[in-house]
Structures are given as C-alpha cells and as structure tokens.
Amino acid sequence: MAQWRAFLRIAERGSLSAAAKDLGTTQPTVSRQLKELEHAYGTTLVIRTTRSLRLTDSGKRVYGLAELIVQSDDALRDQLLGNRTQIEGHLRIAAASGFGAFVVAPFCSRFMERHPKVTIDLRLSDLPVDLIDEGVDVAVRIGRLSSSSLYAKPLALLEEVLVCHPSCLTRPVTRPADLSRLAWTGFSGLKNDGAIRLERHGGKYTVKVTPRLRIDQIVGHREALLAGAGIGMIHRYAVEADLLAGSLIRLLPDWALPEWPVHAVFPLKTQSHRLQRWLEEFKAELADVAGVVPK
C-alpha cells in the first residue's frame, strides 16, 4: 500500500521531494517505492528530467487505479476500525484571518487533543495563498470562488448581521431607510460598493452607505464596533458572544443579508486519510457555530 500512496503523491505533486514531504518520509524512500511499483508492473511509470516529472501513458493508467486502491483502503480502515483508526502526521491549513481565528483555530486545538500524533501548521491571512508552492493541504476560503485548477468542496454558508454598540443609537432603527442616517464602519474585504442589500418575505431593499472607517481584518472590525465606531455588517460567528452579553446590539433582525459561501479548497484531487478525517470532524463541528449553516 505504501507504494501506491507514494506513486499517487508523486503524480499529483510532480516532485519526489514534495511527495516525500507530504508523506512524512525521505526522498530516497519515495524513489525506492516508485521503482518497486515499476518493477512489479514491468514498465516505466514516470519520466524524470532535471527540471520536470511527468507520467508515461502507462503511468496515467496506473494513476487511475492508484486512486481507487487508496480510497478503498481508507474506506475499509474506517469501516473496520472506526474510531480506533489512529491518524498521524502533519497538516498545513490556510484560512481567512477572521474565520480562522474565531472558528478554525479553536477547532484545530480540539482536533489535536483527539489525535495526539497529528501536528498542524495553521496560516491565517486574507491575502491569496499559492497552495501548491507553499505546500498547503487545504485552504478554507470565504466568498465566491474564482475558476481555477484547484479542487473545492462546499462546507457551509455564513450569516451576516448588522450590529452596533448601544451608544451609537439615539433613535431606534425600525426600517432599512433608517440606516442611511447613521455612522458606519466597514470591512474592506466586503466588495459591495457601499451597498447594503437586505431581504424580507421576498421584498428587497438596498441602502447606500459611506463608512468613515474601513478595516481590512475582521478581528479589528469587531474591536472597532465594540468601541462604538459605528454600525457594521459582520459575520455572526464573530459577534455572537457580544450580542448575548449586550456589548453589541443587532439591528433589523427580521431582515436577511446575503450569505457567504465557505469552501475547502485543495491543490490535489485526492486527500490523505488524516486530511479527510480533519474535514469530516470540522464540518460536523460547524453545525454548532452560531451563524454557520453546514452544506
């Protein structure tokens, strides 16, 4: 089975050294496993030059078989061993700063408690990350995905809410039109051209606002809202505790804002067993996060 997993990773990563790093082993070991597979089938599977690596025609046929074998082995292990299946190794995960700080990081801590032999490198940034060049196993991305050669799975939808500090209101807000007369603080990552779109019972309303303060990071945006910088639109998971404590109040709760899709994005078509387990448990825990609707 080790030869199949090594070949699959070599084919997907296009590099012996990258495959070895992913598998937690050495390049000579991966090279030996590839040679063993080639010897078993009596054919060359990979052509290597000083600068590149590509599959032969035979290698392409074996790749399809390798996918089935590895996936079947993982499924069988789950069926036979269930929760006794021990996972180990390293995971490299990227996530948007706000969702990563409030949701992904706490989950990773709990995941490592359940799986003591797993280590995680979590990278939080709102800037684009090259998953292949940086060796990232999965990126948790918020918003509409652009077309690319990466593989993606839907995880959830995020609820957006309108909130402010109680001191920001001199009069009650009872209808969308009331929003335009108030001071606003905005999240720079929200590409809405200053238009706040609300919906209720099929009716739609758009309010144009001009924030006096714009912040490019959700954690900072939340802190500004708590300080009374103005009304803001923010993911509910980031402020649920503040709403319950009364530090922030929610405006127009019967009006809905557009939801944000969340995807798991992969550089490779197939995922390691430990990454599959991480995704399964992460998606299960999302059901308990306020303002998150699992897909």
| Domain locations along the chain | 2-83, 86-157+260-294, 160-251
CATH of 86-157+260-294, one of 3.90.1150.10, 2.60.40.10, 3.40.190.10, 3.30.930.10: 3.40.190.10
Helix axis angle, 218-226 relative to 236-245, nearest 10°?
A: 20
Residue 102 is predicted with a pLDDT of 94
For each successive 10 residues of the chain (295 residues), what is the average pLDDT? 85 83 85 90 85 84 81 69 66 92 96 90 88 84 78 93 93 89 82 79 88 90 95 94 96 93 86 86 93 89
Residue 10 is predicted with a pLDDT of 86
DSSP 102: I
Residue 238 is predicted with a pLDDT of 95
CATH 3.40.190.10 fits domain 160-251: yes
Who contacts 18 (Cβ-Cβ below 8 Å, separation ≥6)? 9, 135
Determine phi and psi for 108, rounding to 5 degrees. Answer: -60, -35
Residue 163 is predicted with a pLDDT of 96
CB-count exposure of residue 277 (10 Å: 0-12, 13-18, 19+): buried
Give yes or no for a contact between 135 and 14, defined as CB atoms under 8 angstroms apart. Answer: no
Residue 17 is predicted with a pLDDT of 85
Q: Alpha-carbon Rg of the chain, whole angstroms?
A: 24
Residue 75 is predicted with a pLDDT of 66
Q: In a 3-state reduction of DSSP, which class is residue 52? A: coil
Give yes or no for a contact between 62 and 45, defined as CB atoms under 8 angstroms apart. Answer: yes
Instruction: Give the Cα separation of 183 and 91 in Å (integer).
Output: 43
| Element containing residue 266 per DSSP (H, E) | strand 260-266
